[in-house]
Amino acid sequence: MDWARGGYIWRRFASAIKDLYRPLTIDLRGHGESEWDPDRCYTLQTYVEDVASVLDAYGANGVTLVGHSLGGEIAIHIALAYPGRVRKLVVSEFGPSLNKSGLIRLAHDLDAQERVYRSVDEYACWLKAKRPLTSPDLLRYLAQVSLRPDLRGNFVLKGDSAARQLRYADGDTGYESNLWAVLSTISCPVLIVRGVASAILPLSVAKRMTEAIPDSSLAEVVCAGHAVVTDNPEGFATAVRKFLTTEGAPTSAESGEV
């Protein structure tokens, strides 16, 4: 689960853990290949309900949820609402408090990419300017799977632009939620993942989360910013695999694979 992208960003990660788990990636409504909501109802609550419905459809219990950015927030709410169904939780690049300037820049980038592209390569070049840490071959793949042709033979993003209007950058201090008050009630082991170069999730917030959640740890992935899943796929997968194969939560770690 990720903000403004489809399940395709998890392809490498899914391959890296398929010997441990049966991976299932979800395109949120209005994202990736999912249908657009005619009422443009793209709220945190509807996303949570959608994911819960998917778990119901699969009869999934004892699952491990991995969520990035908005997906991390959704995963936390699922774990809180259905504690008996979530065995482990991985929250990547999300916290109850987020950096305002980073969020404003992220929102600007999301708006700026909403345009017509003459080719897949044009969008890949746009991504390269925004994602200098991501490998060119992965950027090319992301460009291919993110676009759909329009009636004039050009390309536009698949997702509903209305779904990308959810903003964290409100108020004078950045994003603040009421999750701080309930993090201590999360009963499953939790791994917080942060890109070392993240402009969204402050290190102080990530550490505070591990202090608030009883069975939790922090993994920082080097050579990665907010887009840690694609900036350093190997480092991300290594950090998460360690967590998945450890009883409870591992001690804090840094993942340096590039």
Q: In terms of residue numbers, what domain contains 24? A: 7-98+168-255
Domain membership of residue 126 (yes or no) is no
Domain membership of residue 145 (yes or no) is no
pTM of the model: 0.91
3-class secondary-structure state, position 74:
helix
Domain membership of residue 116 (yes or no) is no
Residue 208 contacts residue 181 (beta carbons within 8 Å) = no
What's the confidence (pLDDT) of residue 174? 63
* CB burial string 95-117: b at 16+ within 10 A, e below: bbbbbbebbebbbeebeebeeeb
Average of per-residue pLDDT values in the chain: 90
Choose the weakest-confidence range: 64-78, 83-97, 169-183: 169-183
Domain membership of residue 66 (yes or no) is yes
State yes or no: pLDDT of 257 exceeds 60.
no
**What single letter denotes the amino acid at residue 199?**
A
pLDDT digits (tens, 9 = 90+) for 102-155: 999 988 898 899 999 999 999 999 999 999 999 999 999 999 999 999 999 999
Domain membership of residue 56 (yes or no) is yes
Domain membership of residue 2 (yes or no) is no
> HSE of 105 in the Cβ direction (CA atoms, 13 Å)?
10
Number of domains composing the chain: 1
3-class secondary-structure state, position 133:
coil
The CATH number of residue 178's host domain is: 3.40.50.1820
How far is Cα 177 from Cα 95, in angstroms, rounded to an integer? Answer: 9
Residue 221 contacts residue 196 (beta carbons within 8 Å) = yes
What's phi and psi for 187, nearest 5 deg? -95, -15
State yes or no: pLDDT of 216 exceeds 90.
yes
Token pair belonging to 98? 């987020």
Token pair belonging to 32? 């990736």
Per-position DSSP letters for 12-59, written without gaps between them: HHHHHHTTT--------TTSTTSPPPTT----HHHHHHHHHHHHHHHT
- Tell me which residue of 97, 84, 44 sits closest to 67, measured CA to CA: 44
Q: What is the mean pLDDT of residues 23-50?
A: 94
What's the confidence (pLDDT) of residue 136? 96
Domain membership of residue 137 (yes or no) is no
Domain membership of residue 197 (yes or no) is yes
